[in-house]
Amino acid sequence: MAIDLWIDVILCLSVLFVASSIFLVKNTFSAIVLFICLGLVVMFCWIRLNAIDVAIAEAAIGSGLTGAMLIAAWRKLAFNESGDQPDEQKEKSE
């Protein structure tokens, strides 16, 4: 196989690695950051597949704006009412 195809194989393997690690980390904030990384790696896939318009839109909307919304929602969902630690870490310490 040509060298182009080996680069594509490495790109696909990194996509699958980042996507599977979203569901294997314990911390929710790490999962959201890994989702933003997945959006950027997938943007490279679009560039390799000659889809430049899709790549620009994916980088800005798919990973940028969706990531910002997810982090803003994480602040509301993961904390207790009094504003202390997230619930997961409290359960671990108990």
Partner 1 sequence: MILMTQSMLFSLCAVILLAIGLIGFLLTSDFLRKLLALNVIGMAIFMVLIAAANNDPNAVDPLPHAMVLTGIVVAAAGTALGLNLASKIVKFARSIQGENTAIENKKSNATQDSSSGQTD
Partner 2 sequence: MKTSSLVSQRTMAVVIISLVSAIAALLLIAFIQQPVHDNALREVVFANLDKTGVSNPVTAVLLNYRAFDTYLEFAVFLCVAVAVLPYVLDVQLPKQKLSAESQVLAIAKIFVPLSILMAGYLLWIGSTQPGGAFQAASLLAGCLVLLSLANVRTIDFSTARSRFLLSGGLLAFIVVNIVVFSQTFCFITLPQNIAGSLILFIEFFATFAVSASLFLCFESIHKGHL
Binding site for partner 1 (CB under 8 A): 1, 4-5, 8-9, 12, 15-16, 19-20, 22-23, 28, 31-32, 35, 38-39, 42, 45-46, 48-51, 53-54, 57-58, 61-62, 65-66, 69-70, 72-74, 76-78, 81
What's the closest the beta carbon of residue 49 comes to partner 1, in angstroms? 5
Could you say which of partner 2, partner 1, none residue 14 binds, taking C-beta under 5 to 8 angstroms by partner kind? none
Q: Exposed e or buried b for every residue in 4-29, given b needs 16+ CB within 10 A?
A: eeeeeeeeeeeeeebeeeeeeeeeee
Burial class (CB in 10 A: 0-12, 13-18, 19+), 62: buried
Return the bridge partners of 86, or none: 79
| Interface segment toward partner 2; rule CB under 8 A; list 12-20, 36-44, 62-70, 83-91 | 62-70
